[in-house]
Structure 1
Amino acid sequence: MAKDEIVWGILGTAKINDKIVVPMHNAPKCRVKGIASRSAQKAREAAAKYGLAVAYDGYEALLADPEIDAVYIPLPNHLHVEWSIKSVEAGKHVLCEKPIGLDAQQVERLIAAREKSGRYIQEAFMVRTHPQWLKVRTLIDEGAIGELRAVTGGFTYYNTNAHDIRNQNELGGGGLLDIGCYPITTSRFITGREPRQVVALMERDPTFEVDRLGSVLMDFEGVQASFFYSTQIHPYQRMQFHGTTGRIEVEIPFNAPNDRPTRLLVSGPAGAGAGTDRWLELPVCDQYGVAAAVFAQAILSGGPQAIALEDTRANMRVIDAVFRSARSGSWEPILQG
C-alpha cells in the first residue's frame, strides 16, 4: 500500500528546532514522531516541549526506528556530512540544515551516498521554496523589470557570543557559511545561471578567527551581483534586482515572517520619465512548513527535489571561490569537476 505521509525524526536538539519542528509536524503529508539527543534528558525535554511522542536516547536509536522515513538534521555544521551519510545508510531521507557541507568536496561525498542508497538528501535552504522567491523569479522571467542587469543585497546580525557555534571556527562557523550563502543561492536561483568568477574582501574576528564581515562581487556574464554580510553589524537583510525598465526589492528575503504577509516592492516605468512603485503582498505562510511539505511530496511521488545536491554543489563551489578570493585578493574562477 502506498504511503500517504512522511514520518519525520529530528536528529538533535538545536535551538533552530523552535522554528522548525511544529511547522514540519503540521505540514501537509508530514508527521514528526520524535527527537533524538545524545543526552536522554535533553531528548525528553525537547519531546515534551514540541509535543512529540518519542524521545530517542541517541541518534542511532532514531535511525534504527523502522517507522521513520526522513530525518531533519540541525546539528553543528561540521557534523552535517557525517550524519547525513549515516542517515541514508540507515534507509532514511535527509533534510539537513545549511551548510550541508563545508566545501564542494564534501558535497561530492553526499552525492555518492545518495546514489548508493537511493535516498534523497537535500540542503534546507527554506527560502528556495518560499512563495515570495518563486514570485520574484516569475516576475523577472515575465519581463516585469526588463532585462536583469544587477543584483544587490545584504544580510547581517550582531553576535559576539564566544559559546555560539557560529563563532567557533573548528565547528564550521563564520559568516559566509551561515548567512553569506543566502545571497549566493538566491542570486543563482533568480538569474538561472552560474557565476563565472568572484572577487571578495573578508575580515576575520581576531579572537574567534571566523569571518565576520565580507563583501562579494559575482560575475554572471551580463548580470553583476554584489552583496555584503556580517555577524557583527546591526541586523539587516534586503535583496534587490535591477533591470532595464524596473526593480524588485524583497523586503524580508531570508527570515520571512510566519505571522504576516511578505512583500515585494516592484518599481516600473509609468511614462514621461516617472516611475511607479507598488507593494505586492504574498499570503502568510511558514517557510519551514512549506519546505518540509515540498520535500515530503518529492519523496512520496518519486519526483525531483526542489534543491538537488548538484545545485548544492554548485552553490558550494561559489562559496569555495569566495574564500579563495579573500586569500588571494584576486578574481577567482568557479572551479568545476
Structure 2
Amino acid sequence: MSAHLNWGILGASHFALNQMGPAIHRATGGRLAALATSSAKKAEPFQAWAPDLRVHESYDALLADPEVDAVYIPLPNHLHVEWTRKAARAGKHVLCEKPIALEAREIDELIALRDETGLLIAEAFMIVHHPQWQKAREIYESGVLGTLKRVDCDFSYNNPDPGNVRNMRGMGGGGLRDIGVYIFGSTRFVTGEEPQEILSADLDWLEDFDTTAVMTARFPSFRYSGMVSMRMAPWQEVTFHGEEAVMRLTAPFNAQVYGEARVGLYRPGGQMQEWRFPADNHYVLQVEAFNRAVQTGAAYACPLEFSQGTQAMIDMVFDAAR
C-alpha cells in the first residue's frame, strides 16, 4: 500500500460528487483514484477536480482494480450489505453510507467478514468525528449537567420527490433509515447508554416506507424523545436536559450546510457558555480518521458494533410501530 490510501467510489451519486468525493480527495493521507459509472457524462464533473481519475464502467471492474485500496459506497440502502461484502472479498477497505444494513442482524456478517479479512469496514456516520459532538460528549462526561433526565432529538427535511430513492418502493428508504441513524446514534455516542424500551412509536407510512416518525424511549438513566421526517420544513436540534444544566446543539447533523455548529451550555441564573465550530468539515475529518486507522491501526470512532447498536434501535422503533 502506498503512503496515501487510494480510494474508489461505486457510483456517481450527487452526494458523492458534492460532498464525499471532494472530502476523500482533500483529506490528509488519501486521494480519490477511481470512479465506477457507466456514464461518461456523470464522470466529467468528478474529473474537473480530479483530472487523473480512472473511470471504470462497472462496480466489479473498480473492485478488480489493484491500485484501489479503499471503497466508498453511496448506493441505495438495499444494496449496502451486498456491495460491502463484495468490496471486502475483493480486498478493499470499505466506508459505506448509512444505514450500512437494513436490520441489525445483517451486520453480524459484516463484523465476521471484517475480523476474517483484517480490513476496516465502517458505516459513514460522520458526526462522531466532528469537534461539536466530541465537545458534547466531553461536557456530558464532566458531570456538569448533573443527572441527565431527558434527551430530545429532531431532524427533518422536505423531500416529496417520487424520483428520489428515499421515496421508492423496495429501496430501503424512508425517514428512519435515512436520518434516524443521527438522532439515535448521536444520543448513544454522547451518553454511552443503550435503549431499554420503546415507549411509543407513531409513524406515517407511504407504501413500504415511513415519511415521519415520532417516538419516545426509556434509556437506563433518562427518557428520550425523537422525531425524523422527510415531509416537514428543515429543522435539526438536540437537547440534553439534566438536573443542573441544559446542553443544546444547533446544526448537529449538517454542519455548515444547515448552519453553524454550536454547543450551548445553559445553567441556572442565566449563565451561558457557547462553543462554535464554523469551519470544521466532518466529511473530511471522517476520511482522515479512516485513513489513519488503516495506515497506523489507530482506533476508529465508529466501529461496526456501534453501528449495529444504532440499527438495533431503529429495528426496535419499527417493531413497536407494527
Which interval holds the TM-score relative to the shorter structure? over 0.9
Distance in 2 (CA, whole Å) between partners of 1:131 and 1:3 is 29
Check conservation: 2:81, 2:106, Cα contact below 8 A.
Answer: yes
* Residue 189 in structure 1 maps to residue 189 in structure 2: yes
* Residue 293 in structure 1 maps to residue 288 in structure 2: yes
**Structure-1 residue corresponding to 2:98:** 98
Deviates more, 1:141-150 or 1:231-240: 141-150
**Amino acid paired to 2:19:** K
Distance in 2 (CA, whole Å) between partners of 1:230 and 1:192 is 25
Query: CA, structure 1 residues 131+258, in 2 after alignment: closer, same or farther (shift >3 Å)?
Result: farther
Deviates more, 1:64-73 or 1:274-283: 274-283
Deviates more, 1:142-151 or 1:69-78: 142-151
**Structure-2 residue corresponding to 1:25:** 25
Check conservation: 1:73, 1:96, Cα contact below 8 A.
Answer: yes
**Amino acid paired to 1:319:** I
* Residue 86 in structure 1 maps to residue 81 in structure 2: no
Give the secondary-structure state (helix, strand or coil) at the position aligned to 1:16.
helix
**Structure-2 residue corresponding to 1:244:** 243
**Structure-1 residue corresponding to 2:318:** 323
Query: CA, structure 1 residues 317+20, in 2 after alignment: closer, same or farther (shift >3 Å)?
Result: same
Query: CA, structure 1 residues 158+40, in 2 after alignment: closer, same or farther (shift >3 Å)?
Result: closer
Deviation at residue 264 of structure 1 after TM alignment: 1.3
Deviates more, 1:276-285 or 1:97-106: 276-285
Deviation at residue 54 of structure 1 after TM alignment: 1.1
Check conservation: 1:40, 1:58, Cα contact below 8 A.
Answer: no
**Structure-1 residue corresponding to 2:220:** 221
Aligned counterparts, 1:1-337, within 5 A:
3-17=2-16, 18-37=18-37, 39-42=38-41, 44-52=43-51, 53-206=53-206, 208-257=207-256, 261-269=260-268, 274-282=269-277, 284-327=279-322
Distance in 2 (CA, whole Å) between partners of 1:204 and 1:29 is 44
Give the secondary-structure state (helix, strand or coil) at the position aligned to 1:303.
coil
Deviation at residue 49 of structure 1 after TM alignment: 4.1
Give the secondary-structure state (helix, strand or coil) at the position aligned to 1:324.
helix
**Amino acid paired to 2:98:** K
Identity of aligned residues (%): 37
Deviation at residue 3 of structure 1 after TM alignment: 4.2
Query: CA, structure 1 residues 50+197, in 2 after alignment: closer, same or farther (shift >3 Å)?
Result: farther
Distance in 2 (CA, whole Å) between partners of 1:185 and 1:169 is 25
Over 4 Å off, 4+ runs: 258-261
Deviation at residue 268 of structure 1 after TM alignment: 1.4
Give the secondary-structure state (helix, strand or coil) at the position aligned to 1:169.
coil
**Amino acid paired to 2:127:** V
Relative to the length of structure 1, the TM-score reads: 0.90
**Amino acid paired to 1:275:** G
Deviates more, 1:43-52 or 1:106-115: 43-52
Check conservation: 1:40, 1:56, Cα contact below 8 A.
Answer: no
Deviation at residue 215 of structure 1 after TM alignment: 1.1
Check conservation: 1:149, 1:244, Cα contact below 8 A.
Answer: yes
**Amino acid paired to 2:218:** D
Cα deviation code 1:270-293 (max 9, x no counterpart):
xxxx23223221251111000000
**Amino acid paired to 1:4:** A
- CA RMSD between the two structures: 1.7
Deviation at residue 26 of structure 1 after TM alignment: 0.8
Distance in 2 (CA, whole Å) between partners of 1:91 and 1:42 is 29
List alignment gaps of at least 5 residues for structure 2.
Answer: none
List alignment gaps of at least 5 residues for structure 1.
Answer: 328-337
Distance in 2 (CA, whole Å) between partners of 1:116 and 1:46 is 37
Deviation at residue 50 of structure 1 after TM alignment: 4.1
Give the secondary-structure state (helix, strand or coil) at the position aligned to 1:216.
strand
**Amino acid paired to 2:24:** M
Distance in 2 (CA, whole Å) between partners of 1:49 and 1:234 is 34
**Amino acid paired to 1:31:** R
**Amino acid paired to 1:304:** A
